[in-house]
Chains A and B, each alone.
Chain A
Amino acid sequence: MIIQNFNPLEDEMVTILDKEGEVVREDILPDIEDDKLKHMYKTMLFTRIIDTKTLQYQRQGRMLTYAPNKGQEAAQIGSVAAIEKEDWLVPAFRELGAWLYKGVSLDQIYLYWYGNEEGSRFEKDVKVLPISVPIASQLNHAVGIAMATNIKKENDVTLAYVGDGGTSEGEFHEALNFAGVFNTPNVFIIQNNQWAISVSRNIQTKSETLAQKAIAYGIPGVQVDGNDVLAMYAVTKEAVERARRGEGPTLIEAVTYRLGPHTTSDDPTIYRTNEEVEEWALKDPLTRFQKYLLDKGILTQEEDEKLRDEYADQVTQTFKKIEKTGADTKLIDVFKYNYAEMPPNLKEQYEEQKRYYEGGEK
């Protein structure tokens, strides 16, 4: 049992792998097969490379606004790796690693950020919800999914994400309160990356930790080193098992840092110091995990370099494909998904626009 032994009111935080990649808590080290460890690392690396290249594409004017994930890979992959295929994933909007791990393709992800709704057309069995822009509102969806799981007497767990800024929203409160009252199989991950655009974590709440908010809802809350993928995994796994046993929801605060801007439209140098960023860069979740795997012999240096080249190539190819086809949108698609069947006003407007774009309608 990890969760109950770390008191969020005393600012205790679960760390297993320190920033040098050394195991500091052998007693709670999760038992993960080598293949899975490698898959987790590969997804983190892939996420990092996508992120880096996407920022470049955006700077070149080839991509719309993008929300980078750099620094938060462990918070995402450590948690999502603890759920199963039949479980649900409810993202906010900065969960690239989680989407990939759960089975969303990079093609889809690029389509979305390229400005095409087709990017959120997910296969039913992926069980991932589209990006939710209104902050914290997605948590209530996660609770509803889990309420339905209880009503249908099914067994899946719903994992949901929110940011530190999101904990100030009324919907955060409503969702956690519902989850507690209805004892739902939910795991909530707060990616506390210290900054909600330019507003620092201290301005969001007077609470010492975000995890301690759980106490008021009568559910467990725990603070985890969000840059430690093994700690994130161990704690989320325990929370998922609790949920699956019918013991209800858990709130996990992943203490992490957004090394990049909020989105590509943001300039973080206005509101935070280089020293702060450099300090957090030393706690990089990817290098920490890489060192651990190299030390254990699960990964070799050559393999790692090969992966980096492979992924860079894959990202380039995928982006080029989306650049070529991602703008192939049709006028009818603007209309036809608003309702199951187009009502007369939509039909009328579609016909009118079709005449206007006559010849232009692809």
Chain B
Amino acid sequence: MPLLNNIGALTYALDQEMERDNTIVVYGEDVGYEGGVFRATQGLQKKYGVDRCFDTPLAEAGIVGSAVGMAINGLKPVVEMQFSGFMLPAYNQIVGHVARMRNRSRGSYNLPMVIRMPYGGGVRALEHHSESLETLFAHIPGLKVVIPSTPYDTKGLMISALRDPDPVIFMEPKRIYRAFKQEVPEEDYSIPIGKAKVVKEGEDITVVAWGALVRETQKAIKEIEEKEDISVELIDLRTISPIDKETIIKSVQKTGRFLVVHEAIKSFGPGAELMSIVNEGAFLYLEAPPTRVTGLDVTVPLPKSEHYFMVDTRKIADKIKELVEY
């Protein structure tokens, strides 16, 4: 079993699927010759040729819009938005067409395609490189939104995304692209879209996180559990849309407390949706108000003050304790 980091697992999944399915084409800005600014597509052009992995002009709407046409004409495009903050010119295509073509045509035109994008802060980047915009996609009917947190999940979720009959937005927490390695099976396996994972069972509180903050939350839990008599259940959401209500509700019915941890800004963020799910599904089980630890309702600051914005271990640990002691 190869030992891979998140970016390696991503390339591994793309490579294996391109080998298996010759309708898959991978393209975007710097994606072909260079293999992507984060090297997610490294080696693919060399192996599969310029017809199946190539560079495009610098134009996000053109990239996503052409992918719509390609999918209609029988290919399976995997396109990269270099950073999620640069996705906005393509948002017209994503909301206006990618999400709607199946419904608009009553199923005569379906769009199996994957739109990949690195997202999130903590990499000391310039403006527009650090946002967490998953809500912008999760709010749109017709899209699926997936966020992996480990190399194992990255491969399994990418394989599912590539085999899904509908368009999938694949958001990659870039802060942990190379943060750690994990053994990733060589064989074909997939992780179902729409299913959360109980990473760790616990009794007193349910914490839901995804992306880079799963690791941050794990650290917080470890600290707390070593010091205090608190048992935390951790759920990695894995798919933002469609959301796995069942796993969350079941967990909160057991623990009676609920905390969402996300890097996206707080107001109208994904946490608000999760609060509603818990209120509707586990209201009578609650022993403390469902709560969020999130990014702030501000423009993501530049590197010198970005740490104020970021969700760190202590912010998570403090909130867990507060809720358990409520």
Contacts and interface: CB of A to CB of B under 8 A. Distances in A.
B62 A177 contact: yes
A340 B110 contact: yes
Given A134-B97, A344-B245, A338 B69 contact: no
Contacts of B75: 148, 151-152
Nearest to A133: B96
Given A117-B103, A148-B73, A338-B141, A140 B108 contact: no
Q: How large is the interface on A (under 10, 10 to 19, 20 to 34, 35 or more residues)?
A: 35 or more
A281 B121 CA distance: 60
A104 B24 CA distance: 30
Contacts of A123: 108
Contacts of A141: 65-66, 68-69, 72, 97
A144 B65 contact: yes
Interface string A170-192: 11001101100100000000000
Contacts of A122: 105, 108
A145 interface: yes
Contact of A340 (B57, B108, B141, B165): B165
Contact of B106 (A120, A144, A171): A120
A122 B65 CA distance: 20
B72 A144 contact: yes
Interface in A107-166: 117-118, 120-124, 129-130, 132-134, 137, 139-152, 158
B90 to A, nearest CB: 10
B62 A140 contact: yes
Given A120-B104, A339-B166, A140 B93 contact: yes
Contacts of A133: 96
B105 A120 contact: yes
Given A137-B97, A152-B74, A143 B66 contact: yes
B66 A129 contact: no
A144 B102 contact: no
Contacts of A343: 194, 242
Contacts of B164: 340
A207 interface: no
Nearest to B112: A340
Given A140-B61, A143-B62, A181-B57, A121 B105 contact: yes
Given A149-B73, A151-B25, A140 B68 contact: yes
Contacts of B93: 137, 140
B25 A145 contact: no
A118 B73 contact: no
B92 A137 contact: yes
Nearest to B49: A151
A142 B25 CA distance: 17
Contacts of A170: 61, 89
Contacts of B71: 144
B65 A175 contact: yes
Interface residues of B, number: 47
Given A171-B61, A343-B194, A337 B106 contact: yes
B310 to A, nearest CB: 30
Contacts of B109: 129-130
B142 A339 contact: yes
Given A140-B65, A171-B65, A132 B97 contact: yes
Interface in A211-248: none
Contact of A140 (B66, B74, B102, B142): B66
B203 interface: no
Contacts of B16: none
B69 A147 contact: yes
B121 to A, nearest CB: 28
B70 interface: yes
Interface string B197-239: 0000000000000000000000000000000000000000000
B52 A151 contact: yes
A141 B75 CA distance: 13
A108 to B, nearest CB: 11
B89 A345 contact: no
Nearest to B165: A340
Given A340-B165, A344-B242, A171 B92 contact: yes
Sort A-B residue pairs by CB-CB distance and give the 9 closest, nearest first.
Answer: A144-B69, A140-B65, A343-B242, A144-B66, A174-B62, A148-B73, A121-B106, A145-B69, A340-B165
Interface of A: 88, 90, 117-118, 120-124, 129-130, 132-134, 137, 139-152, 158, 170-171, 174-175, 177-178, 181, 333, 337-340, 343-346
15 contacts: A117-B105, A120-B108, A121-B105, A137-B96, A140-B66, A140-B69, A143-B65, A144-B65, A149-B73, A151-B51, A151-B75, A338-B141, A340-B164, A343-B242, A344-B242
Given A130-B109, A178-B62, 8 more contacts: A117-B104, A121-B106, A137-B92, A144-B70, A177-B62, A181-B56, A337-B103, A340-B165
